[in-house]
């Protein structure tokens, strides 16, 4: 879910981080609470950026449990980026494009505010590194992103349906409660006051093997769970984030 990323939260003063490494300039958060998707502070401060290619030299990197915050020097300006956790090398040139610009962003994990942060799926050391692999895309959103099909085979729970069945007969299930058992493959916390999960069960319909759900409960990537929620079709949250199928307010069963 590209990010759904993707209505998210933003970064005042590092109070819950370790000190900066004098040799590397890389900081690590000592707060064990996961910041999978930070909580948005200013709902009106989000803006999708353009598709132009950008590049900048890495000046600073801050590691959290789930994100890496990067400060690039781009055209003599400092630009803050946030990407899924990665190894970052100071002094190297990184390329990026697109993403969501968040203004007045507060990071609970870092205890810090940032005036502007651009949330991205990834950065790369070359423009070619930003190309999306052709083997998989996120069909739940019109913003292209990579979704990996896991080696999963989960038998449906009694009274439940498979992901293939849901996509094959989505109109039948629209507005109805469904029960699905599967493996959590992606988990993003506190986006629009909901936690967001990707779930797979090993079934597939026309290349669609992963469904997105929202919940108020906590999940762990890799767990096999049974969820129950209401099916919504063609949900549009604006800023390019639309979902063919979304299971809303899912609960563990």
pLDDT higher for 18 or 164? 164
Please state, as a whole number, how many other Cβ atoms lie within 10 Å of the Cβ of residue 189: 20
Q: DSSP strand E in the chain: where?
A: 2-5, 26-28, 46-48, 54-63, 67-74, 77-84, 93-96, 100-107, 112-119, 177-191, 194-200, 211-215, 224-236, 242-252
Q: Domain check: are 177 and 92 in the same one?
A: no
Q: Domain check: are 53 and 97 in the same one?
A: yes
Domain count, the chain: 2
Q: Please check whether residue 136 lies inside any domain of the structure.
A: no
Please state, as a whole number, how many other Cβ atoms lie within 10 Å of the Cβ of residue 168: 15
Q: Please check whether residue 76 lies inside any domain of the structure.
A: yes
Distance of alpha carbon 144 from alpha carbon 1, whole angstroms:
9
Q: Are the C-beta atoms of 139 and 163 separated by less than 8 Å?
A: no
Q: What is the mean pLDDT of residues 163-172?
A: 96
Q: What is the mean pLDDT of residues 2-28?
A: 40
Please check the confidence at residue 68 and state whether its pLDDT lies above 50. yes
Q: Domain check: are 118 and 176 in the same one?
A: no
Q: Please check whether residue 149 lies inside any domain of the structure.
A: no
pLDDT tens digits, residue range 90-138? 999 999 998 888 889 888 888 899 999 999 988 999 988 887 543 334 4
- Residue 46 banded pLDDT, cuts 50, 70, 90: low
**C-alpha atoms less than 13 angstroms from C-alpha of 141 in its C-beta half-sphere:** 21
Output the domain CATH number for residue 221.
Answer: 2.40.50.140
For 198, list phi and psi in degrees, rounded to 5. Answer: -105, 135
Q: Domain check: are 6 and 65 in the same one?
A: yes
Q: State the pLDDT at residue 212.
A: 93
Distance of alpha carbon 217 from alpha carbon 194, whole angstroms:
9
Nearest to 41 by CA among 89, 111, 93, 99: 111
Q: DSSP string of 12-60?
A: ---SSBPPPPTTT-EEEB---S--SSPPPS-GGGEEE--S--EEEEEEE
Please check the confidence at residue 50 and state whether its pLDDT lies above 60. yes
Domain span at residue 70 reads 2-130
Please check the confidence at residue 79 and state whether its pLDDT lies above 50. yes
pLDDT tens digits, residue range 200-250? 999 999 999 999 999 999 999 999 999 999 999 988 765 456 789 999 999
- Residue 71 banded pLDDT, cuts 50, 70, 90: very high
Q: Please check whether residue 154 lies inside any domain of the structure.
A: no
Q: Please check whether residue 148 lies inside any domain of the structure.
A: no
Q: Are the C-beta atoms of 146 and 136 separated by less than 8 Å?
A: yes
Rg (C-alpha) for the chain, rounded Å, is 19
Q: Domain check: are 107 and 170 in the same one?
A: no
Q: Please check whether residue 31 lies inside any domain of the structure.
A: yes
Nearest to 105 by CA among 20, 36, 12, 210: 12
Q: Please check whether residue 224 lies inside any domain of the structure.
A: yes
């Amino acid at each position: 879910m590209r990010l759904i990323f993707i209505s998210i939260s933003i970064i005042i003063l590092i109070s819950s981080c370790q000190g900066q490494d004098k040799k590397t300039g890389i900081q690590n958060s000592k707060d064990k609470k996961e910041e999978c998707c930070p909580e948005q502070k200013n709902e009106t401060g989000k803006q999708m950026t353009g598709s132009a290619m950008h590049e900048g030299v890495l000046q600073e990197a801050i590691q959290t449990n789930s994100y890496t915050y990067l400060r690039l020097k781009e055209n003599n300006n400092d630009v803050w980026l946030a990407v899924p956790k990665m190894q970052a090398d100071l002094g190297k040139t990184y390329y990026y494009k697109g993403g969501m610009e968040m203004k007045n962003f507060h990071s609970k994990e870092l205890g810090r505010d940032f005036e502007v942060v651009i949330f991205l799926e990834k950065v790369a050391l070359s423009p070619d590194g930003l190309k999306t692999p052709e083997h998989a895309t996120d069909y739940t959103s019109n913003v292209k992103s990579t979704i990996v099909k896991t080696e999963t085979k989960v038998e449906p729970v009694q009274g439940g349906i498979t992901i293939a069945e849901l996509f094959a007969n989505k109109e039948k299930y629209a507005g109805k409660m469904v029960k699905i058992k599967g493996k959590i493959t992606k988990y993003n916390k506190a986006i629009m006051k909901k936690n967001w999960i990707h779930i797979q069960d090993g079934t597939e319909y026309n290349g669609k093997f992963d469904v997105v759900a929202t919940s108020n409960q906590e999940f762990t990537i890799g767990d096999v769970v049974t969820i129950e929620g209401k099916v919504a079709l063609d949900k549009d949250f604006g800023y390019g984030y639309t979902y063919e199928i979304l299971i809303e307010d899912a609960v563990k069963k």
